[in-house]
Structure 1
Amino acid sequence: MVTAATSSSSNAGSYTTIKETVTFEREIKKSKFIAIAGPISDEQSAFSFLSQVRDPRATHNCWAYKVADQFRSNDDGEPSGTAGKPIQSAIDSSGIDRVMVVVIRYFGGIKLGTGGLVRAYGGVASECLRNATTCLIKSKVPMGVEVPFDLIGVLHHQLQSFQVENIRQDYETGKDGIVMISFIVDFDQVEKLEDAIKANCCRELVFYKR
């Protein structure tokens, strides 16, 4: 059973994800559970990751993933709500985003019951994520500002101090003596950069953000 949900805990400015694929294995009442977590960017990359790590020989390949405020999970034949949702809860509790966790089960002959399955899938998923190396990713914002020619040097000094990326100049603005300078800046630096530019240029400037 596939389920989808929306989370309200996403942060548009930055997020924590895992650096690389990590695996955790545990045997529970003769069933082998292997949790595999990997970084993803969207639904397409999630299903690509799933196709790479799932084992068609296994009894179940259960999974969940989170991308921003979107969750999806799948019980893959286990009783409804006993596999995908516990994996999803483990992801949510970890605070990690843009991640998928696949838990592969090889049935060992002993049934675990509903509660046992929830603990097994949620537990191995949590341990897997705890073992992962994480990193903070800052979102980037494309910006632009129109400035007179005589302020280009002042503006570039401010842009360099904020370590912006992809600086470009466009003189075809249709306005005499005005150049459009576009760049990409960290989300959490947008307001500070605007304030610094205004303070140092001492002019009314037009900013553009996407």
Structure 2
Amino acid sequence: MNDQPFLVPLESARFEEEIKKSVFITHLAHTPSVEVAKKFIEQIKQEHSSARHNCWGFVAGRPEDSMKWGFSDDGEPSGTAGKPILAQLSGSGVGELTAVVTRYSGGIKLGTGGLVKAYGGGVQQALKLLQTIEKKITTNLRLELDYGFMPIAQSIMTQYDAQEVQANYGVQVELVVEIELRQVEAFTQTVINKSGAKALVSKIKDN
């Protein structure tokens, strides 16, 4: 599993332009899974059901994870819409992102080159408007420790930006903390060293 953070959209973006009497509307949205991406595509298709084409592409995971890519020309000549849309998305370095480009045709043919330029260019312009945020890859750890070690444990948690998710106070303190995946090893080692190996750190299996 890749533990490096990556960029995701902070909010949706929209770009509209007219090319030879055809109106192209590019919609961008944060879609953290393929299922969410498909729902967003359906939503835009319903909103613009009178449009001739709603072409789309998505990168529904990490930017480089091609297993979660998809695209469609939605009736446009093969290779003129979906691929240029996906090329812009996959080259943007932003993950969990879907683009739907709605075309209201104006009756003038653009030709294959014109279509590629219109669909790819619309996404390129929309990406310039897109605000992004860094998504950190986190995991949960269980800590079992003596009460006397709590102040040091809290100091270590602050050092590694680990957040307390749950706390149980019994014979010992049991904490569940959320921490960035790439910090797990260093955090665990620090806890063991500072507690003289008395504090236990274990991974919680993901569902």
For the aligned pair, the TM-score class normalised by the smaller chain equals 0.7 to 0.9
CA distance in 1, matches of 2:130, 2:23: 20
User: Which structure 2 residues correspond to residues 167-206 of structure 1 after superposition, within 5 A?
Assistant: 167-170=165-168, 179-203=173-197, 206=200
Q: Which runs of 5+ in 2 are unaligned?
A: none
Q: Which of 24, 29, 50 does residue 15 from structure 2 map onto?
A: 24
**What is the CA–CA distance in structure 2 between the aligned matches of 1:156 and 1:59, rounded to whole Å?**
59
* TM-score, length basis structure 2: 0.83
Higher strand share: 1
CA RMSD of aligned residues (A): 2.3
Q: Structure 1 residue 159: deviation in Å?
A: 1.7
Distance 1:12 1:65 in 2: 22
How do 1:51-200 and structure 2 match up within 5 A? 51-54=42-45, 55-68=48-61, 69=65, 70-170=68-168, 179-200=173-194
Q: 1:78 to 1:158 in 2, by over 3 A?
A: same
Q: Compute the displacement of 1:53 (Å).
A: 2.5
Q: Which amino acid counterpart does residue 7 of structure 2 have in structure 1?
A: T
Which of 34, 39, 46 is the equivalent residue of 1:48? 39
Matches of 2:128 and 2:60 in 1, distance apart?
19
Which segment is superposed worse, 183-192 or 148-157?
148-157
| Corresponding letter in the other structure for 1:147 | L
Among the aligned pairs, what percent are the same residue?
A: 32
Task: State the SS of the aligned residue for 1:62.
Answer: strand
Q: How many residues align?
A: 197
Moved more, 22-31 or 94-103: 22-31
Deviation at 1:179, TM superposition (A): 4.8
CA–CA distance in structure 1, aligned partners of residues 29 and 189 of structure 2: 39
**2: CA distance between counterparts of 1:76 and 1:57?**
14
Distance 1:13 1:110 in 2: 47
Superposed CA offset, 1:54-90 (max 9, x none): 3111010001111222101111111122111111110
Change in CA separation of 1:111 and 1:16 when aligned onto 2, cut-off 3 Å: same
Aligned to 1:4: none
Task: Find the residue that maps to 1:163 and give its secondary structure.
Answer: coil
* Aligned-partner Cα distance in 1 for 2:183–2:18: 47
